[in-house]
Amino acid sequence: MSAENLAEKLPAKADAGETTDLLLLPDGRILVHGLTESFARLLGELAPDDEQFSSRIIHPEKSPQ
Amino acid sequence: MLCVEAIAETSRLKTRAEIARERAEIAHAMLADCRFCAHDCRVNRLAGEQGLCHAGAEARFFSAQTEVSDELELIPTFAVALSGCDLRCAFCITGESSWNARAGQTFNASAIAAKACDALRQGARTIMLFGGEPTIHLPAALEFVAAMPPDARLIWKTNAHGSSQARALLVGMFDVWLADFKFGNDACASRLAKISHYGDVVKENLLWAHEHSELIVRHLLMPGHIDCCWRPIAQWTAENLPRVKVNLRAGFWPAWHAAGHAELRGTNSRADIDRAIKIGHEFGLNFIN
């Protein structure tokens, strides 16, 4: 199947559910693009010491009005 | 009595939505001689002609979701990514959709505004239009603003390569301009994004944005570009936009066509990130995360 045909069978991102792109580096760093709340919570559990995720986990009781 | 009522009606201050609706019509007519970005192509997009961004008259989008990866003071933000861009940054992280104005789906301003309002009800703090580059889709962007409630905090995430004509239509429409300052010199801009006169254009846009709205300046730190790009950006920003919020984004990854440039085949080292932050502190930048 050509890449073009495959692309036609895949849902467009605008059609898909939430999408986050990750790049895992050999040194353990995790780079993220388009981080969603659910993925931030997941990454926060996997890397609890990484402030870039913990600071982005929205706690409902702390949500701004 | 009728006269009084007439005066009262005409003197009533228009809402943002009303102004946006009027400007959307103007912007749509301007597609016949497109001057939205600094490329100033002057093609008739209504007749199917294409400029450097290859965008037609119809706006499309490739993502619309609530995200938390932007500035802490803006998140959660319901972020809408419009397809197509007037720049050709080799390292574009969404290159496939950002370089292709026909990617994704047709942008229906009312439908996406309804989703944005849902997101606000569920806790989103802001609504962000980005891309690609939203400037090339100004009619659709203004239709979107027209469909949003007056108290919605709207973010214009831009490459700051717009024209004065575009800026005139954007006055008072967005609460925050989140503007990229990508390159610190025109040679790097030309080599990596196929763009000329970058410095003059972006500086003009940033100064204007600072005058007309809240401004946050973003720089994506590129490997090997600390001294040629980041340092001059930090210096200019400190001298011309003191106390403006600056977000140094160090999470570069070699996306899209970055591999075509030797220095962009990797990520930033911890040492380089620390050095870049130190440069910013030396210039007294007002860093935010």
The full set of domains in chain B, from first to last, is 15-215+254-262 (3.20.20.70)
Q: Which chain A residue lies closest to B67 (C-alpha atoms)?
A: A36
Q: Looking at this predicted complex, what is its ipTM? A: 0.89
pLDDT value of position B7: 47
B 226-245 residues with CB below 8 A of A? none
Task: At B287, list the tokens.
Answer: 């860093």
From chain B, the residues in CB contact with A21 under 8 A are 93
- Weakly modelled stretches of chain B, pLDDT under 50: 1-4, 6-8
Q: Which chain B residue lies closest to A22 (C-alpha atoms)?
A: B253
Q: Kindly provide the b/e burial profile for residues B253-275, where b requires at least 16 CB atoms within 10 angstroms of the residue's own CB.
A: bbbbbbeebeebeebbeeebbeb
| Structure confidence by residue, pLDDT tens digits, A17-65 | 789 999 999 888 899 999 999 999 999 998 888 888 889 997 755 444 4
For chain A, give every domain's residue range. Answer: 18-62
From chain B, the residues in CB contact with A12 under 8 A are 62, 103-105
From chain B, the residues in CB contact with A19 under 8 A are 63, 65
Nearest chain A CA: its distance from B62 CA (Å):
5
Query: Is the Cβ of B253 closer than 8 Å to some Cβ of chain A?
Result: yes
pLDDT value of position A13: 54
pLDDT value of position A51: 84
pLDDT value of position A4: 41
A27, A42, A54, A56: which to substitute to probe chain B, counting the most B Cβ within 10 Å?
A56
Task: At B207, list the tokens.
Answer: 């100064």
Whole-prediction pTM: 0.91
Q: Do A33 and B93 touch (CB under 8 A)?
A: yes
pLDDT value of position A61: 52
Q: Which chain B residue lies closest to A33 (C-alpha atoms)?
A: B69
pLDDT value of position B8: 47
Contact B207, B164 (CB under 8 A): no
